[in-house]
Every structure is written in C-alpha cells, then in structure tokens.
Amino acid sequence: MGYTYIAAAQAAAIEAFYEEHFNPYLNFRRPCGVPERVASAKGKERRVYPWYATPGEILRQLPGVAAYLKPGGTIEELERRACAQSDPAAAEQMQQAKAKLFATFPKRMA
C-alpha cells in the first residue's frame, strides 16, 4: 500500500481488499524461498534457498497439517481455492480490485 497516511474512513475498504484479494494472491500465487541453514567447514552458518514455493504449498507439506487449519477448514478447500484460477488471471483480478479500491480514495492536492 505504501507509506502514506490512511484515513480511518478508508481502513475498512483496505482490510476487505486484503482479505478478499491480496492475501489469497500471496498465499496461493507468489512463491517465496524456503531457507535451509548450511554450516561451512569453519562452523559459520548461512542460509541457502534450495526450494521456492507458495505459502499454500509449504503449508500442505507440514506433517499434521490439519492442526494448522482454522476450525472447519480442510485441505480440499485449500486445494479448491488454489486451483480456482490460473496465476495470471488471479494477478489480473487482484490488480483490478486494487485499482478499484484506489479510485475510491480522495485525490490529494498537489
């Protein structure tokens, strides 16, 4: 969103945008690096990122994944949400929702 002031009147609309569009996009579409600690011969640790996956894919790899889900949530529901759209279609939908949200903000005086 940036680093500018957000009026209280806009907070509910921004929260709805995050819950409906942005968070699902990040969780099911944007890959992130999964770190692994590697020690050198001298004992110095560093992180390498051998695997890149979305947070949804990482969650599905956890043992006992059902314990991390909301009450009533299922792996099948996560799979359905992840496969509902292609990555480009989800990105386009998120960008359109963001443009629509920003259009509702009052214009700043220059």
pLDDT digits (tens, 9 = 90+) for 55-99: 999 998 889 888 888 888 888 888 898 888 899 999 999 999 999
Dihedral pair phi/psi, residue 5, rounded to 5°: -65, 140
For residue 67, the model assigns a pLDDT of: 87
Q: What is the domain range of residue 94?
A: 8-103
Q: Considering the domain boundaries, does residue 1 fall inside one?
A: no
Amino acid at 5: Y
Residues 20-51: tens digit of each pLDDT: 999 999 999 999 999 999 998 998 999 999 99
Query: How many domains in the chain?
Result: 1
For residue 33, the model assigns a pLDDT of: 94
Q: Considering the domain boundaries, does residue 109 fall inside one?
A: no
Q: Considering the domain boundaries, does residue 26 fall inside one?
A: yes
Give the helix ranges, DSSP H, for the chain.
8-17, 23-29, 55-61, 75-83, 87-103
CA-only gyration radius of the chain, Å: 19
Neighbouring residues of 71: CB distance < 8 A, sequence distance ≥ 6: none
pTM score:
0.76
What is the rounded distance in angstroms from the CA atom of residue 71 to the CA atom of residue 13? 26
For residue 109, the model assigns a pLDDT of: 64
Q: Considering the domain boundaries, does residue 3 fall inside one?
A: no
Check: CB of residue 31 under 8 Å from CB of residue 49: no
